[in-house]
Chain A
Amino acid sequence: EAGVVQSPRYKIIEKKQPVAFWCNPISGHNTLYWYRQNLGQGPELLIRYENEEAVDDSQLPKDRFSAERLKGVDSTLKIQPAELGDSAVYLCASQLQTTKDEQFFGPGTRLTVL
Chain B
Amino acid sequence: AQSVTQPDIHITVSEGASLELRCNYSYGATPYLFWYVQSPGQGLQLLLKYFSGDTLVQGIKGFEAEFKRSQSSFNLRKPSVHWSDAAEYFCAVGAVQAGTALIFGKGTTLSVSS
Contact = CB atoms under 8 A, between A and B. Distances in A.
Chain A interface residue bracket vs B:
20 to 34
B4 A42 contact: yes
A52 interface: no
Looking at chain A's contact residues, the main secondary structure is: loop
A17 B10 CA distance: 35
A42 B23 CA distance: 13
A95 interface: yes
B43 A44 contact: no
A39 B99 CA distance: 26
Contact of A91 (B41, B44, B49): B44
Interface string B77-114: 00000000000001010001111011011110000000
Interface in B15-37: 32, 34, 36
Looking at chain B's contact residues, the main secondary structure is: loop
A33 B51 contact: no
Given A41-B106, A42-B105, A31 B46 contact: no
A103 B46 CA distance: 8
A108 interface: yes
B42 interface: yes
Contacts of A41: 106-107
Contacts of B97: 99
Interface of B: 4, 32, 34, 36, 41-46, 49, 51, 90, 92, 96-99, 101-102, 104-107
7 contacts: A33-B101, A35-B101, A41-B107, A100-B96, A102-B49, A103-B102, A105-B44
